[in-house]
Amino acid sequence: MAKKKGKEVLVVASKVREYVKSKKCNTSGEFIGELSNAVYGLIDKAAARAKGNNRKTIQAKDA
């Protein structure tokens, strides 16, 4: 899969499409890239929270 805005795609496109199909919906060509961007945002937020708590390890409670 192509990179989105210089970043690698973090989600497995085939698994996402399979799940979306199970919800009786279709997936647009742009959805996977935007979903990956959302994942980057969640990771960035969790990392900032962990660092704010003087930790280097991101934990479930940071999500």
**In the predicted model, is pLDDT for residue 10 greater than 90?**
yes
In this structure, what token pair is assigned to residue 6?
Answer: 């210089």
Whole-number pLDDT of residue 5:
56
Confidence grade of residue 7 (pLDDT, cut at 50, 70, 90): confident
Q: Specify whether the CB–CB gap between 10 and 36 falls below 8 A.
A: yes
Q: What is the pLDDT of residues 15-38, one digit of tens each?
A: 999 999 999 999 998 999 999 999
**CA-based end-to-end distance of the chain:** 26
